[in-house]
Amino acid sequence: MHLAQSKYPLDLLERKKFKDAKLISTPVSAGQKLSAYVGEPYKHPDHYRNVVGALQYLIITRPDLSYAVNQVCQFMHSPKDTHWMAVKRILRYLKATYDHGLVYKPGGMQLYAFSDADYAGNADTCHTTGDFCIYLGPNLVS
């Protein structure tokens, strides 16, 4: 079984005028650290919040977007132009991978969990960022 939201990202890209955007292979550039103190205030914060909110809905079936979307969500209260550039990169990645999703296949019933943490990874507060994934056999469940 393949769970995907192929129509939703295409509609989002069309609504936000990114349908003809250049394709990119990763949602975040290597080593990218966003800061609340770098960049000029973004002139259209409501537009930023609208796009980021739409991206949040997509991570239900697109765990590959989770990290990138989490990064830009941290600045919804006061987005900067650097944050908007990060959102545009996510949209360009989305255009290249709009049909990606979760694949569920028959398999064992073993439970596997993986976690990762970035000690003091937040550039502004030095807080640690962490995440996890849980598999039931070969299938991602959380």
Please report, for the chain, the start and end positions of each structural domain, with discontinuous segments joined by +. Answer: 2-103, 106-142
Per-residue tokens: 38: 């770098």
Q: Which residues are within 8 A (CB) of 98 and not within 5 positions of it... i.e. 6 or more apart?
A: 6, 9, 10, 13
What are 28-47's pLDDT values in tens digits? 998 888 999 999 999 999 99
The pLDDT of 73-86, averaged and rounded, is: 96
Per-residue tokens: 139: 């299938």
Beta bridge partners of 139: 136
CA dist 101 and 61 (Å) reads 5
Count Cβ atoms below 10 Å from residue 74 Cβ, excluding itself: 17
What are 101-114's pLDDT values in tens digits? 999 999 899 999 99
pTM score of the predicted model:
0.88
Per-residue tokens: 117: 């943490």
Count Cβ atoms below 10 Å from residue 114 Cβ, excluding itself: 9
Count Cβ atoms below 10 Å from residue 86 Cβ, excluding itself: 22
